[in-house]
A and B are shown apart, each in its own frame.
Chain A
Amino acid sequence: MRKYFFIVLPAIFSLYSCWHRSTVPEPPLVKVWGFKPVYTLDSSVLEIKAGAARPIDIPGKIYAKGNLVFQNDVGRGIHVFDNINPSAMRAIGFINILGSSEISIRGNYLYTNSFTDLVVVDISDWQQVKEVSRVKQAFIQGQEVYRASYHEFLPPPEHGVWFECPNLFLSSAQILAGWVRDSIYNNNCFYQ
């Protein structure tokens, strides 16, 4: 029995060293100064309200109803245009809807998204809109609005820095509110 022991044990050790040798060592991660996202529990940034016309940042899909034309500002909300005289079309307002990228309207209700939530907005008076209901996580593709636009919303405070990539799945309990300088690993996101 003992002679088998002296064969088996070295065999196991040499096999182990084979496995060990076959792993390519990676360069060690380095800690650098960068930025970490700071989340807020404040869901007031999700409040849907209408305001004055403003320049469009990211033109998006359009929708026409009656004498009004609506255009998404991707991730920010919906611009309202007066179309009574099409040759003199002008912006007359903006409905703030964080994370919006879609529009459909029927009657007095606008159906849109706030990132991954389906949101219903009462637009019977488009200047005094209000959210009437929300179905959370109804539109998973809405997460791409965040991925596309968080740099514009709230980029890290400096260029040429590493930052911990913000969580892409927003909920009202996790809204990106700012950045804090911290020591992070250099395998995160990099802000050019």
Chain B
Amino acid sequence: MLSYKHFIAAGTLIVVAGLACTKESNDATQSDDMGTGGSLARFTIAHNHLYLADYNSLKVYDLTDPATPVQRNTINVGFGVETIYPYRDKLFIGSRDGMYIYSVTDPGKPVKLGEARHVRSCDPVVANDSVAYVTLRGNSACGPAQDGLYVYDIKNITNPIQKSLLPLSQAGGLGLRDSVVFISRGNAGLSVVNIKNPESPTLMYTVNDAEYMDVIPYNDVLLCYVSNGLLVYEITDLDHIKKIGGVEY
């Protein structure tokens, strides 16, 4: 059993700020030119740079010539850097010992703004202007943290403050859409959590069609990375998401 398998990862930390910001949280750094990855991504492109999460480091490559990445920097971040989530001029980094927030105002030189340490666990993170959402998952590989959705107020970016914890077993890859966050929970299902009031996330319901690892809200559908392939849900009605297709093996 590998010690860094993402799908073993700990719960998701969700930082929910009280902002009624309901648009796609990654709008600012996405464009048709780029497409969208999931919350477990180790390779992330933003501001003409490619960022890699590699053991304890964040590696920075310049993509001025897109065919020839040029390394600009290697930054020691924390223990077990796992995921990178770009939002506007920041990178939210999930690592085994905490969530780190870096400024990429100068994209080639990320500068640490703030951090929220946590008990050792695996933690993908997504965020918007005022809230960071982290799922934490504890197990023998990741660490002893309590599984769940952790919400951090990041209005003061240099001092993220945990506002709530919604316990959810095996919380892993996650995705934001309007006032809802989708949370992959392995064989515990796919949970739909209401974050209209970010400091009090509530579990709406859970679907159990597969073993869920990560999700990408994409246009009117939710693309799900599941243990035996890919599933597609229609999410026009967030109260009742509907499985409409996929490719499973």
Interface residues of B in 200-249 (CB under 8 A from A): 213-214, 216, 218, 220-221, 223-230, 232, 234, 244-247, 249
Our pick among A65, A66, A71, A104 for the contact of B41 (Cβ within 8 Å) is A104
Contact A59 B225 (CB under 8 A): yes
- What 1/0 mask marks residues of chain A from 16 to 42 whose CB sits below 8 Å from any chain B CB? 000000000000000000000000000
A139 at the interface (CB under 8 A from B): yes
Q: CA–CA, A113 to B41, complex, Å?
A: 12
Contact A86 B55 (CB under 8 A): no
How many residues does chain B have at the interface if contact means C-beta atoms less than 8 Å apart? 50
Contact B216 A64 (CB under 8 A): yes
Residues in A whose Cβ lies below 8 Å from that of B221: 86
Q: CA–CA, A81 to B35, complex, Å?
A: 14
Q: CA–CA, A38 to B3, complex, Å?
A: 28
Q: CA–CA, A135 to B71, complex, Å?
A: 9
Our pick among A87, A111, A122, A132 for the contact of B232 (Cβ within 8 Å) is A87
Segment touching B, from A44-52, A88-96, A165-173, A176-184: A88-96
Contact B228 A61 (CB under 8 A): no
Contact B42 A102 (CB under 8 A): yes
B106 at the interface (CB under 8 A from A): no
Contact A64 B218 (CB under 8 A): yes
> Would A147 and B35 be within 8 Å (CB), given that A81-B247, A138-B52 are in contact?
no
Contact B54 A91 (CB under 8 A): no
Segment touching A, from B10-18, B59-67, B92-100, B186-194: B59-67
Contact B38 A62 (CB under 8 A): yes
Residues in A whose Cβ lies below 8 Å from that of B71: 135, 138
In the assembled complex, the CB of B12 is this many whole angstroms from the nearest CB of chain A, namely 16
Residues in B whose Cβ lies below 8 Å from that of A55: 249
A106 at the interface (CB under 8 A from B): yes
Q: CA–CA, A89 to B37, complex, Å?
A: 18
A105 at the interface (CB under 8 A from B): yes
How many residues does chain A have at the interface if contact means C-beta atoms less than 8 Å apart? 43
A153 at the interface (CB under 8 A from B): no
A129 at the interface (CB under 8 A from B): no
Q: CA–CA, A73 to B37, complex, Å?
A: 15
A192 at the interface (CB under 8 A from B): no
Q: CA–CA, A102 to B38, complex, Å?
A: 11
Segment touching A, from B43-51, B114-122, B131-139, B148-156: B43-51
> Would A104 and B43 be within 8 Å (CB), given that A81-B247, A120-B69, A141-B54 are in contact?
yes
Residues in B whose Cβ lies below 8 Å from that of A118: 50, 52, 61, 69
In the assembled complex, the CB of A97 is this many whole angstroms from the nearest CB of chain B, namely 13
In the assembled complex, the CB of A164 is this many whole angstroms from the nearest CB of chain B, namely 21
Residues in B whose Cβ lies below 8 Å from that of A113: 43
Q: CA–CA, A71 to B229, complex, Å?
A: 8
Contact A71 B225 (CB under 8 A): yes
Contact A111 B225 (CB under 8 A): no
Residues in B whose Cβ lies below 8 Å from that of A111: 43, 45, 50, 69
Residues in A whose Cβ lies below 8 Å from that of B37: 61-63, 103-104
Q: CA–CA, A140 to B53, complex, Å?
A: 10
Q: CA–CA, A65 to B224, complex, Å?
A: 15
Our pick among A66, A71, A141 for the contact of B42 (Cβ within 8 Å) is A141
Residues in A whose Cβ lies below 8 Å from that of B183: none
Q: CA–CA, A138 to B33, complex, Å?
A: 24
In the assembled complex, the CB of A116 is this many whole angstroms from the nearest CB of chain B, namely 9
> Would A109 and B223 be within 8 Å (CB), given that A65-B35, A139-B54, A140-B54 are in contact?
no
Q: CA–CA, A109 to B45, complex, Å?
A: 11
**What is the interface of chain B, defined by CB distance below 8 A to chain A?**
2, 4, 6, 32-38, 40-45, 50, 52-55, 59, 61, 63, 66-69, 71, 213-214, 216, 218, 220-221, 223-230, 232, 234, 244-247, 249
8 pairs, A vs B, C-beta closer than 8 Å? A62-B214, A65-B34, A103-B41, A104-B41, A133-B68, A139-B42, A140-B55, A141-B54
Q: List the 10 shortest-distance A-B pairs measured between CB atoms, nearest first.
A: A65-B35, A87-B244, A104-B43, A102-B43, A87-B245, A62-B225, A132-B67, A86-B221, A89-B245, A64-B218
